[in-house]
Amino acid sequence: MNRPLIFLGTTNLDIVFYSHSLPTVGQSLMGTIEEFGGGKGANQAVAAARLGAAPHFATLLGEDDAAETLIKFMASSGVQTGKFGRKPGVASGRSIIFVSSEGSNMIGIDAGANEFFGPDDVKKALDGIPQTAVMVVEMGLPVAACRAAFEMKADRFLIFNPAPVRAQLTDADCKAIDILTPNETEAEELTGITIDSPTTAFEAAKLLHDRGIKAVAITLGGEGVVYLDAEKSIHQSAYQVDVVDTTAAGDAFNSGLAVAITRNMPIEDALSFAVATASVSVTRKGAQQSMPTEKEVRAFLAKEGAA
């Protein structure tokens, strides 16, 4: 039987500018603009729903037209919306994203209602969520909310995505985390180790593990992911795809990993499934709209000979 799944995180309206290259200071670029549903937590929840889970999602939105659009899309994707909150007099979060023809991006975020998500909201979110659940928390939320989630996790399985890094992890934080999922930049911020290869990523993972985190999975873009726990060190290579837009690739990975864990997959299979989820997502535009279904991920893995 699959374990319950809940995401605690941010929701944004993504305003995406596509152009040949990323801008430099003082440069004007021609391109096209599109709008998508975004926010790390929302992206992860939608991805999980498309992968066949029925995830709960706790988030705060404003009282504006953007909120109505975002809620409608998440609900239609299969996300359970009963733990959504609204903040009167405040706009929903928004992101401005520049995407180059090679798929690389630059992101600016106006947190909006997300910045008001606090410990009381965490308590409401976890009310009625079984101790067998997998919970995924991201650091786009205020630090006080993240730490409240750590304190209230009890026996639930906690995946923490420290993106963006808003504070260093305390020893108490580390002991609460079952899997930490930074990218290479975030891992550098948390450890001070310059990550330029899987070898140095393993060094950073070991340092974080030695601080009390049960397992660390550092995503490395085209180099895949390195994973370390008390018993295993795994380098899951990336799959080669034609990249269109890397926005939310990390969210796709986190969601794929969380869904795999709810299904009690061995960690090797869970990492492969998560990397495949991210690989398919980057071949499409947008964040939530780019997330693949489980059937698509399985077909991709079969094509790669990894099913």
* 251 labelled catalytic: yes
User: What amino acid occupies position 143?
Assistant: V
Q: What is the pLDDT of residues 89-120, one digit of tens each?
A: 999 999 899 989 888 888 888 999 999 999 99
pLDDT in the model for residue 246: 84
CA–CA gap between residue 190 and residue 198 (Å, rounded): 17
Strand-pairing partners, residue 99, are 18, 105
Question: Average pLDDT of the chain?
Answer: 95
- Displacement of CA 273 from its chain's centroid (Å): 15
Question: Average pLDDT in the 215-229 region?
Answer: 96
* Contact residues for 277 (Cβ-Cβ < 8 A; gap 6+): 47, 51, 252, 253, 255, 256, 291, 292, 297
> 108, 189, 145: which is closest to 8 by C-alpha?
145
CA–CA gap between residue 205 and residue 254 (Å, rounded): 17
pLDDT in the model for residue 36: 87
Using the predicted structure, report yes or no on whether residue 287 has a pLDDT greater than 90: no
- Asked if residue 162 has a cis previous peptide bond (ω within 30° of 0), the answer is no
pLDDT in the model for residue 174: 98
Q: Look at strands 134-138 and 56-62 and give their pairing.
A: unpaired
Question: Average pLDDT in the 122-139 region?
Answer: 98
Question: Average pLDDT in the 11-15 region?
Answer: 93
Question: Average pLDDT in the 257-261 region?
Answer: 98
Using the predicted structure, report yes or no on whether residue 175 has a pLDDT greater than 90: yes
Question: Average pLDDT in the 128-143 region?
Answer: 97
pLDDT in the model for residue 156: 98
Q: What is the pLDDT of residues 56-92, one digit of tens each?
A: 999 999 999 999 999 999 999 999 999 999 999 999 9
pLDDT in the model for residue 1: 78
* Contact residues for 84 (Cβ-Cβ < 8 A; gap 6+): 57, 58, 59, 60, 61, 71
Percent of all residues in the chain with a pLDDT value above 70, rounded to a whole number: 100
**Catalytic one of 121, 173, 245, 251:** 251
Where do the domains of the chain lie, and which CATH numbers do they carry? 5-11+38-94+114-303 (3.40.1190.20)
**Least confident span in 36-45, 73-82, 280-289:** 280-289
Tokens matching residue 42? 């929302």
Question: Average pLDDT in the 284-303 region?
Answer: 92
pLDDT in the model for residue 307: 63
Overall pTM surpassing 0.85 (yes/no): yes
